[in-house]
Amino acid sequence: MFRAEASTIGVDIGGTKILAGVLDPHGKVLARRQVPTPGHDVQLVEDSIVSIVQDLRRSHEIAAVGIGAAGFVDATRRVVMFSPHLNWRREPLQSAIAKRVRLPVVVDNDANTAGVAECLYGAARGHRFVLCITLGTGIGGALIIDGKVFRGNNGMAGEFGHMQMVPTGHRCECGNRGCWEQYASGTALLRDARELIANGSPLAHRLRELVDGDPARLTGPQVTQEARNGDPLSLELLSDIGEWLGVGLAGLAAAFDPSCIVIGGGLSDAGDLLLRPTRSAFSKALTGRGHRSEPAIVVAALGPEAGFIGAADMARSAARKARRRTRRADRREARVRDSAAPLGSRRRLM
């Protein structure tokens, strides 16, 4: 039996890495772990989650586990119905992990967990209507209203990265063409930079030298760093991403009218190099501009830890529910025992 003050574990599963941490009851991160996502193999990903949880449990008392998954999670928050970047198809992730770690487990979309964390502890504190966008391998999204995640009918609201922006555009891993994440994500940044290196563009000379002419060796953080160093092409590539991001955000603002838009995920490390063109494109495309207050567009305060922090906080809620269920079951059992006792015994109990 876990104690009420026990900590919780949050696990954030992305397309390229798995981040996990232990959160105490006050929101403080006590320990962290990071491992590469082991390809698209479902069993290997599950094994990695279990291994991280068991490792963290060796030095911390744990009440429950929360998992932020890069995919479409059903309304029960147990099944990953589909993931564009992993081979999850109706994967019963909650039960699979719970059976192996023998703890209460809750599963949610990774952008939802990041959004919850930013509302509780980060850049969106004090805001009632929050739009959270995570920029990594793809684009994740969450809508938080008065501290609660808006999940929609199937539990799959917030998949903004798969809004179609260009009907005949790049093929997306979800199967459609022209999705927003094909133009405003880390994948888009890296694709465009590698194509310019491979095509021999003179603009790409600094990036080409960086990887000795091998486009496959280039990483997104390298492009961001070269932009900080003043490389014109890297700056242009980030500006292109920012413009696509701003146009998409303007559409979401027209639909949901948030007071705050939080930009998180690995690509947000670019800071103002990304957000300046984003804010400019957003202001130009916003419906009703000049006749409404514009939402603040801010970088996530919790960085890459937001996903597992939010997942751990959700796990705390799961632990509380498990305790309540245990108490109700104990009370029912006590009533049954009392009603089955002999009359004389019942009088002595009264």
279 in the same domain as 159:
yes
pLDDT score recorded for residue 349? 44
> For the chain, what is the domain count?
2
Give whichever of 80-84, 255-259, 344-348 has the largest mean pLDDT.
Answer: 255-259
Q: Which residues does 26 contact at the CB level (< 8 Å), separation at least 6?
A: none
189 in the same domain as 202:
yes
Q: How many CA atoms lie within 13 A of 297 on its CB side?
A: 26
- Give, to the nearest 10 degrees, the angle between helix 220-228 and helix 232-256: 110
270 in the same domain as 159:
yes
CB atoms within 10 A of CB 87: 12
164 in the same domain as 291:
yes
Indicate whether 1 pLDDT > 50.
no
Looking at every residue in the chain, the average pLDDT score rounds to 90
Is residue 144, in this structure, part of any structural domain at all?
yes
pLDDT digit string (tens) for 233-284? 999 999 999 999 999 999 999 999 999 999 998 899 999 999 999 999 999 9
pLDDT score recorded for residue 139? 93
**What average pLDDT does this structure show over 148-172?**
93
CB-based contact 316:25 (threshold 8 Å) = yes
**What average pLDDT does this structure show over 195-202?**
96
178 in the same domain as 56:
no
Of the pLDDT bands very low, low, confident and very high (cuts 50, 70, 90), residue 58 is very high
pLDDT digit string (tens) for 112-122? 999 999 999 99
Which one has a higher pLDDT value, 341 or 321?
321
**What average pLDDT does this structure show over 27-48?**
91
pLDDT score recorded for residue 71? 86
- As a whole-number percent, the residues of the chain with pLDDT over 90 amount to 76
By residue range, what is the domain housing residue 25? 7-114+305-332
Of the pLDDT bands very low, low, confident and very high (cuts 50, 70, 90), residue 342 is low
pLDDT score recorded for residue 256? 95
Is residue 269, in this structure, part of any structural domain at all?
yes
pLDDT digit string (tens) for 122-131? 999 999 999 9
Which one has a higher pLDDT value, 330 or 49?
49
CB-based contact 133:141 (threshold 8 Å) = yes
320 in the same domain as 175:
no
CB-based contact 258:131 (threshold 8 Å) = yes
Q: Could you tell me the CATH number of the domain that includes residue 295?
A: 3.30.420.40
Is residue 313, in this structure, part of any structural domain at all?
yes
296 in the same domain as 312:
no
287 in the same domain as 266:
yes
